Homo-oligomer: A and B are copies of this chain.
Amino acid sequence: MISKNQIKLLKSLEYKKYRKLHGLFVAEGPKLVNELLLEGWQPKHLFHLPEWQGSNGETGEEITDRELSQISQLSTPNEVLAVLQLPENEFNGFGHKLNLVIDGIKDPGNLGTMIRLADWYGLKEIFLTPDCTDAFSAKTVQASMGSIFRIKITQLAQQEIVLLPAQMAQVLGAFLDATPVKSIEPKWPLSLVIGSESHGISQEIENLVTHKISIERKGKAESLNAAMACGILLDNLL
């Protein structure tokens, strides 16, 4: 049984403003919820239909179909909904061998795909410029296929961006028609910046880039989607 006030609060988590205000976000469906439980996340609430239980027998608060559809952000609610504490956004510098910086990506699906790619290639953290879409929206969480529970997401403040070249051997930026990535000798540690397909890398960050790199085009397509470019560049560098 969920109270009206609880329903109101849970529905409000659809919006970034209320996720920040309450320090909470939501993950839905058996696959994602099992993944977060396996990764040791402890949901503030775990609402589920009577028939659901976690892959290690976990249970939470039973609710009805009707209640689930009242609190779900999915068009087809899917058995279980976890309410989670929003991780602290804490910038500790660009301290990895490869620092992936995502610049101005507005599409939640694309951002989710990049979080999944970061996880596939073994990165521990990704950095987002202030104008990126929020990583903790339902769509991004969903598109990350659970990888968001393993990767630290760091939203950069404007004044932190200028620190990008400090201690880096290279700051690589993805551009159309620059040096092919296959002819670049990576020097570590490095940062890799990916901008959006339509706007590319912002002028401010472009000024910090030491090497402009491209995926060599052999045919005629005009461009590649930002997440695709991210995947192909990570594969070349790692």
Contacts and interface: CB of A to CB of B under 8 A. Distances in A.
Interface of A: 113, 116-123, 145-147, 150, 215, 217-225, 227-228, 231-232, 235-236, 238
Given A113-B225, A120-B215, A121-B218, 20 more contacts: A116-B221, A117-B221, A117-B224, A118-B219, A120-B220, A120-B221, A121-B219, A122-B218, A122-B219, A123-B219, A145-B222, A146-B222, A147-B220, A150-B220, A218-B238, A224-B231, A227-B228, A228-B228, A231-B232, A235-B235
Given A122-B218, A122-B219, A219-B122, A116 B231 contact: no
Contacts of A217: 120
A122 to B, nearest CB: 3
A220 B119 contact: yes
19 contacts: A116-B221, A117-B224, A118-B219, A119-B219, A119-B220, A120-B224, A121-B218, A121-B219, A122-B219, A122-B220, A123-B219, A145-B222, A145-B223, A147-B221, A224-B231, A228-B231, A231-B232, A232-B235, A235-B235
A8 to B, nearest CB: 29
Nearest to A197: B145
Contacts of A113: 225, 228
A221 B123 contact: no
A227 B116 CA distance: 14
Contacts of A119: 219-221
A236 B235 contact: yes
B218 A120 contact: yes
Nearest to A39: B220
A118 to B, nearest CB: 8
Interface-central residue, A218, A223, A235, by most chain B CB under 10 Å: A235
Contacts of A218: 120-122, 238
A236 B219 CA distance: 16
